[in-house]
Amino acid sequence: MPDAKTVDLTYAGWMGARFSSQGPEGPPGEPRAEQHVLARTFHGVSLNDEFDWLKAANWREVMRDPLKLDSAIRAYLQAENDYCESALGETVALQQMLFAEMKARIKEDDSTVPEPDGPYA
């Protein structure tokens, strides 16, 4: 029987294994979210959420008016978007080609919105 092995299933452990060639901090230029630990206990189980601050408490208002998003959250999301654009910039032509191919396979013959038809619909 093989020896028992401890497996790190945390996000940091997964990212460290995935990007081990770049070191523990991940790929160069990758935005890093600050960690503010929020500890909660439900039914005797303690949960620590380091990234709870990224969920806006006023998310319903933000859906109606994006300008109401907290500036710290907005800055982090913009950094993530900028990183994604720089990392995937050379694949734009491929993305457009794949999108066109998927769109060509969709049957566009729906003339009305679906509506219930009988008790089982």
Phi then psi for residue 2, to 5 deg, are -70, 155
Q: Coil, helix or strand for 42? A: strand
Indicate the pLDDT class of residue 15, thresholds 50, 70 and 90.
Answer: low
SS3 for 82-120, per residue? Answer: HHHHHHHHHHHHHHHHHHHHHHHHCCCCCCCCCCCCCCC
- Bridge partner residues of 46 (DSSP): 41
pTM: 0.61
Higher pLDDT, 118 or 47: 47
Q: What tokens appear for 28 in the block? A: 């160069």
- Bridge partner residues of 40 (DSSP): 47
DSSP 20: G
Distance between CA 115 and CA 108 in Å, rounded? Answer: 18
Higher pLDDT, 2 or 111: 111
What is the arithmetic mean of pLDDT over 32-45?
Answer: 92
Q: 88: Cβ–Cβ under 8 A, 6 or more apart, which residues? A: 95
Report the share of the chain in percent with pLDDT over 90.
62
